[in-house]
């Protein structure tokens, strides 16, 4: 019996529904829906986004922000002023606005080098759209918002890893489906 593309697509959709419904599966943490959303990636990130206050009694220096990024093993920090998120500071901001300009990171406030305004996505933004936004804007990190509140930050690496796992699972499933005859 020859398997058609439609039958394979239908089998993947059924498998996605089974996984999302919580049925036991060896790869239950993989969402195989082609319409995966930012929420699917954010739900796999173990910690909430890290923020750094841009203004306190003494302004937070770029050096302190970089120290926080290194300790937390992240490539970006959300910057807050008065409890509101006003920007994002990234490794790229540091390299371009401190290192290349020959400035001293202990004397520069995070506020001076942060990227603002923020480019954000929602929980309902598709993975492909997130990747397109990041590629078009040439950014590597994007906050994910829900009802105006930041619920996470995803990096291009998070998205690529998610897509790679998703595709590996689909390939394995199709291989098993085709060879089981």
Is the entire prediction scored with pTM above 0.95? no
If one counts the domains in the chain, the total is 1
* pLDDT of 54 over the 50 cut: no
Determine the structural domain holding residue 21 and report its residue range.
Answer: 5-34+164-179
User: Would 15 be classed as within a structural domain?
Assistant: yes
What would the two tokens of residue 98 be? 């401190």
* Between 41 and 141, the higher pLDDT residue: 141
The conformation of residue 82, written as its DSSP 8-state character, comes to T
User: Would 10 be classed as within a structural domain?
Assistant: yes
* pLDDT of 22 over the 60 cut: no
User: Would 63 be classed as within a structural domain?
Assistant: no
* pLDDT of 2 over the 50 cut: no
27 — pLDDT class (breaks 50, 70, 90): very low
User: Would 102 be classed as within a structural domain?
Assistant: no
Distance, in Å, from the CA atom of 35 to the CA atom of 58, rounded to the nearest integer, reads 46
User: Would 157 be classed as within a structural domain?
Assistant: no
User: Would 106 be classed as within a structural domain?
Assistant: no
141 — pLDDT class (breaks 50, 70, 90): very high
Return phi, psi of residue 18, to 5°: -65, -45
């Amino acid at each position: 019996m020859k398997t058609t593309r439609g039958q394979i697509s239908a089998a993947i959709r059924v498998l996605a529904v089974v996984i999302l419904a919580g049925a036991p599966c060896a790869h239950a943490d993989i969402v195989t829906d082609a319409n995966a959303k930012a929420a699917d990636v954010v739900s796999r990130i173990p910690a909430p986004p890290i923020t750094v206050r841009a203004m306190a009694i003494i302004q937070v220096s770029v050096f302190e922000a970089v120290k926080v990024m290194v300790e937390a093993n992240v490539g970006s920090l959300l910057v807050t002023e008065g409890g509101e998120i006003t920007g994002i500071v990234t490794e790229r901001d540091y390299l371009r606005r401190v290192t290349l300009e020959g400035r001293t990171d202990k004397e520069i406030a995070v506020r001076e080098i942060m990227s603002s305004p923020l480019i954000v996505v929602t929980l309902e933004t598709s993975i492909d759209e997130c990747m397109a936004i990041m590629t078009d804007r040439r950014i590597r990190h994007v906050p994910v918002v829900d009802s105006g509140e930041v619920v996470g930050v995803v990096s291009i690496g998070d998205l690529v890893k998610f897509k790679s796992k998703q595709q590996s699972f689909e390939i394995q499933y199709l291989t098993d489906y085709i060879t089981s005859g």
